[in-house]
């Protein structure tokens, strides 16, 4: 993309090609500069714990529902599903390590059987994700 100005033609693709790392570095530099100038010294609430009771960006009804669920030891369905998926992945990895150890010991028949079971387990995990 070319942009025309009184000074001539500028290629703005360089600006669009900046990586996320470049942007993060610029933000970090600005934060450090502000810290060095003391701009964070006299903020309201300094030294006091943050109030994280409510999420100011969430729908108030949703926030209330999540708070009630949390107080009663429940979690939203997506949180429970996430826990289940992570647990299944952990179990699958342990099974893979055991199966690989049997293959390394030379037990090819057990490896074939284990690898088929691992494929089925992995398919079940993928079904939960999608």
83 plus 33 within the same structural domain = no
Exposed/middle/buried for residue 100 (C-beta within 10 Å: 0-12, 13-18, 19+): middle
Instruction: State the pLDDT at residue 82.
Output: 93
Tokens 């199966």 sit on residue: 99
Q: Does residue 115 sit within a domain?
A: yes
Q: Does residue 14 sit within a domain?
A: yes
Average pLDDT, the chain: 84
Give residue-wise pLDDT tens across range 50-104.
Answer: 887 777 888 888 888 888 888 898 888 888 899 999 999 999 999 999 999 999 9
Q: Which domain holds residue 109?
A: 75-130
Instruction: State the pLDDT at residue 125.
Output: 94
Q: Does residue 84 sit within a domain?
A: yes
Instruction: State the pLDDT at residue 62.
Output: 86
- Look up the pTM and report it: 0.50
Tokens 């933000």 sit on residue: 27
Q: Does residue 51 sit within a domain?
A: no
Q: Does residue 61 sit within a domain?
A: no
Torsion sign over Cα 45, 50, 52, 56: positive
Q: Does residue 52 sit within a domain?
A: no
Instruction: State the pLDDT at residue 1.
Output: 47
Mean pLDDT of 20-28: 88
More confident residue, 21 or 27: 27
Q: Into how many domains does the chain fold?
A: 2
């Amino acid at each position: 993309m070319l942009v025309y100005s009184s000074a001539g033609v500028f290629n703005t693709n360089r600006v669009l090609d900046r990586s996320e790392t470049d942007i993060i570095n610029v933000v970090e530099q600005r934060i450090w500069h502000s810290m060095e100038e003391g701009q964070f010294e006299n903020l309201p609430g300094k030294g006091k714990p943050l109030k994280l009771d409510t999420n100011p960006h969430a729908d108030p009804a949703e926030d209330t529902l999540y708070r009630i669920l949390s107080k009663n030891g429940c979690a939203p369905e997506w949180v429970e599903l996430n826990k289940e998926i992570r647990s299944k992945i952990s179990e699958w990895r342990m099974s893979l390590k055991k199966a690989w150890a049997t293959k390394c010991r030379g037990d090819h028949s057990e490896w074939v059987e284990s690898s088929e079971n691992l494929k089925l387990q992995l398919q079940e995990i993928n079904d939960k994700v999608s």
